[in-house]
């Protein structure tokens, strides 16, 4: 029984750094959800992971290490399946360019034309943003939005009904990510790109909305007015995220 074997057993099945392009993916709500699943399927509290770096190897004796590895092997499939049904559903999200669906982008159209056309039910982008840019912008928003969840302990508090963390804006939104079918309407998030991205309701807007379908792991974005963004986000803050301007 080796410490390398233990590390392999508690390693998250999703490489969240590679998935998100952000180093903080390894010490974020995504990683904490994996530890939650690991702890949920532990034999005893002695096997619970509470530190972002996993177990403290220096404190494990040979017999403790042997028992720990043996028990982790017994429930390996259960904890992996658990994570896949929770935060793991955010892995592999495909971010569609506006031109892919064609609904929110008209090639060659000038801004004044798009502003006038946006008086109808459809908003329009000025730019056919690349998927990579939309992806990076979403994850930048994600980590800023869930920044208060800074430890495994806080994550567990957030999952506990009635706690301050559970009732917080990020706690309520995380419940939607875990169970989007429980939300009324589609799973949507909005933020302010700081510079105009398109037109909505007849006016230029810097606000953007991501419509996320976790059943198909697809996300498409479209411009929204400030008032619509506030309506969608409710009591949650609308953060300024300028990645699309880079």
Predicted structure pTM score: 0.91
pLDDT band at 12 (very low <50, low <70, confident <90, very high): very high
How high is the mean pLDDT of the chain? Answer: 90
Beta strands in 87-136 (DSSP E): 94-96, 124-125
Residues 170-194 pLDDT 10s: 999 999 888 766 444 568 999 999 9
Residues 130/97, Cβ–Cβ less than 8 Å = yes
pLDDT higher at 165 or 48: 165
For residue 246, count other CB atoms closer than 10 A to its CB. Answer: 8
pLDDT higher at 220 or 72: 220
CA distance 103 to 222: 9
Q: How far is CA 130 from CA 158, 193, 212, in A?
A: 34, 15, 17
- Say what the pLDDT of residue 94 is: 95
CA distance 7 to 25: 18
Asked whether the CA dihedral 128, 130, 133, 136 is positive or negative, the reply is positive
Joined together, the tokens standing for residue 242 give 């300028």
Quick check: 119 pLDDT over 50? yes
């Amino acid at each position: 029984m080796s410490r390398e074997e233990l590390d392999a057993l508690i390693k998250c099945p999703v490489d969240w750094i590679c998935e998100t392009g952000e180093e903080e993916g390894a010490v974020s709500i995504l990683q904490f959800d994996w530890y939650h699943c690991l702890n949920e399927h532990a034999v005893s509290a002695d096997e619970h992971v509470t530190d972002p770096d996993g177990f403290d190897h220096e404190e494990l004796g040979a017999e403790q290490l042997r028992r720990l590895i043996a028990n982790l092997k017994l429930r390996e499939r259960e904890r992996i399946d658990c994570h896949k049904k929770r935060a793991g559903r955010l892995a592999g999200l495909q971010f569609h360019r506006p031109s892919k669906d064609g609904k929110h982008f008209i090639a060659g159209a000038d801004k004044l034309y798009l502003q006038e056309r946006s008086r109808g039910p459809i908003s329009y982008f000025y730019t056919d943003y690349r998927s990579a840019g939309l992806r990076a912008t979403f994850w930048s928003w994600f980590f800023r939005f869930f920044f208060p969840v800074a430890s495994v302990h806080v994550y567990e508090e957030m999952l506990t009904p009635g706690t301050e963390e559970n009732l917080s804006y990020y706690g309520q939104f995380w419940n939607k990510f875990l169970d989007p079918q429980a939300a009324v309407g589609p799973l949507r998030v909005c933020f302010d790109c700081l510079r105009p991205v398109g037109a909505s309701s007849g006016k230029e807007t810097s606000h953007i909305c991501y419509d996320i379908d976790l059943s198909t792991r697809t996300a498409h974005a479209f411009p929204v007015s400030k008032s619509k963004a506030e309506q969608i986000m409710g009591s949650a803050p609308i953060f300024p995220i300028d990645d699309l301007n880079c």
